[in-house]
Amino acid sequence: MGFFIQLLTDPVGFYNAHELLVAQCGVNALLAISIWLTLYAGQLALATAGFMAVGAYTSVLLAIHQHTSLVAGTVSGCALAAVIAALIGLPVLRLRGVFLAIATIGFGEALRFGVILNWPLTGEGQGLTNLGANPTGGILPVWISVAALAYLGWRITRTRLGQAWAAIREDELAAAASAIDVRAHKLVAFVLSAVIAAYAGALDAHLNFFVDPTEYGFDRTVQVLVFAVLGGIGSVAGPIVGAVALTALPEAARWASDYRDVLYGAILMVVVVFRPQGLIARRRQTRRPDGLWPRLRSRLGLAATRAQ
């Protein structure tokens, strides 16, 4: 357990030895916040890695070919992600539950195979080399962003918008009857989430000398989903804690070396069984007294509309 000992006794030394890890935790925290937004509004949207790629590739390509600054490149990446999210959001957000999940997965993978891997501009399978990268300089901006988004995330749950999202998550039809424009609210969550993911992607790309297309597949999104759900989606703190814990875990578990994945998988199974509401539970979370499956299943819209 040298990892934790060093963390507690020699934080500066720890930081120096694990700078990249700290940066990575930050990026993952941003991604987790991105997916949290849509989950909070009751949507299981699994396109995070896709939008991350949009942000990463846009900012790096602009830096390489147009010599734009990091800031301009990041903003462009976010803008592009917003546009794409608005375009695909309109038809896709009509879908419920697992259908939405699959559609967004499809979008992400189609983006990866169709655009990234087969377009010479994006370097195809080889990825891009980003000579302007700054692996350690990016850490501060990343964590400042995390702090800012955490604050905003906390605030937004208390606004009319945030509470409308909570209502939509619980019951869309009842929300509509309370004059909530369900479609518009879902779109806002989706677009905001895409922008944050793109932002994280741009920052992440700037931390590495090499943009690797295999980083932006379905696996990555699943990883981010696990961060959020394990951490608890009741508040913005959950995904952040989940991201940090699960990103650091493989490092902390170095002693398990080759069996890290086995340990990771086992931990997922155990945590989700013994604490399904996540590590950071909502303030007033209580177990539902009713074991009625149909209503439970319809909670996240999963299996609410099953074709037969």
Partner 1 sequence: MLTGQELLDGIFIGSIYALFALGYTLVFGVLGIINLAHSAVFMLGAVFAYSLVALHGVEFWLAAPLAIAGAGLLGAFIEFAALRPLRRRNAPPIAALISTLGFAIACVGLIEQADGSGPLGWLWRDGANSVSFPAGTVPQTTYRLAGLTVPAPKLAILVISIVLWLALGRLVLRTQPGRAMRAVAENPRASALLGIDVDRVILLTVVGSSALAGLAGILFGVAIGDVSPYIGRDQIELRGLAVIVLGGMGNIPGTILGGYILGVIEVLALVLFGSGAHAGISFAILFLVLVVRPHGLLGTRAVERV
Partner 2 sequence: MASPLLELSELRQYFGGVHALDGVSLSIETGQVFGLIGPNGAGKTTLVNVLTGHARGGSGLVRIAGTDVAGKPPHLVASAGVARTFQGVRLYHELSAIANIIAGMHRQRMHDIGRELFAPLGRVRRARTARHAQALGLLELVGLPDEVADRPAATLAYGQQRRVEIARALALQPRLLILDEPTAGMNPLEKREIGRLLSRLSEGGLTILLIEHDMPLVMSVCSRVAVLDFGRKIADGEPQAVARDQKVLDAYLGTETSCGSASEDDTTQAEGATSSTAAAITTGARPATSQTRPGRGLRASDLHVHYGAVHAVRSVSLAVDEGEIVTLIGANGAGKSTLLATLSGVLRPSSGAATFDGLDLTRAKPARIVAHGIAHVPEGRQILGRLTVRENLELGGYTRGGSRRLAADITRLEERFPILAERRSMPAMTLSGGEQQVLAIARALIARPRLLLLDEPSLGLAPILAESVFGLIAELHRSGLTILLVEQNAHRALSLAQRGYVVETGRIAFSGSAVELQANPEVERAYLGSDPRL
Contact residues toward partner 1 (CB under 8 A) are 44, 91-92, 95, 98-99, 102-103, 105-110, 112-114, 117-118, 173, 218-219, 222, 225-226, 229-230, 258-269, 272-273, 276, 287-288, 291-294, 296-297, 299-300, 302-308
The binding track of 111-140 with respect to partner 2, each residue x by CB under 8 A or -, is ------------------------------
The DSSP bridge partners found for residue 211 are 128
Q: Identify which range of 28-36, 63-71, 181-189, 247-255 contacts partner 2 by CB under 8 A.
A: 181-189
As measured in angstroms, the least distance from the Cβ of 178 to partner 2 is 5
Q: What is the DSSP letter of 234?
A: T
Report helix, strand and coil shares of the chain as percent, to nearest 5: 75, 0, 25
| Residue of 146, 136, 111 lying closest to 34 (CA atoms) | 146
223 three-class SS: helix
As measured in angstroms, the least distance from the Cβ of 216 to partner 1 is 13
CA–CA distance, 208 with 212 (Å, rounded to integer) = 9
Among residues 79 and 267, whose Cβ is nearest to partner 1?
A: 267
The answer to the question of residue 308 lying near partner 2 (CB under 8 A) is yes
Among residues 121 and 184, whose Cβ is nearest to partner 2?
A: 184
- Single out the residue of 274, 284, 293, 307 in contact with partner 2 (rule: CB under 8 A): 284
CA–CA distance, 197 with 133 (Å, rounded to integer) = 19
HEC string for 23-51: HHHHHHHHHHHHHHHHHHCCCCCCCHHHH
Among residues 148 and 174, whose Cβ is nearest to partner 1?
A: 174
**Residue 163 CB contacts under 8 Å (≥ 6 apart), including other chains:** 157
Among residues 182 and 197, whose Cβ is nearest to partner 2?
A: 182
CA–CA distance, 66 with 53 (Å, rounded to integer) = 19
The answer to the question of residue 167 lying near partner 2 (CB under 8 A) is yes
Question: What is the binding site for partner 2 (CB under 8 A)?
Answer: 152, 155-156, 158-161, 163-164, 166-167, 170-171, 173-183, 284-290, 295, 299, 308
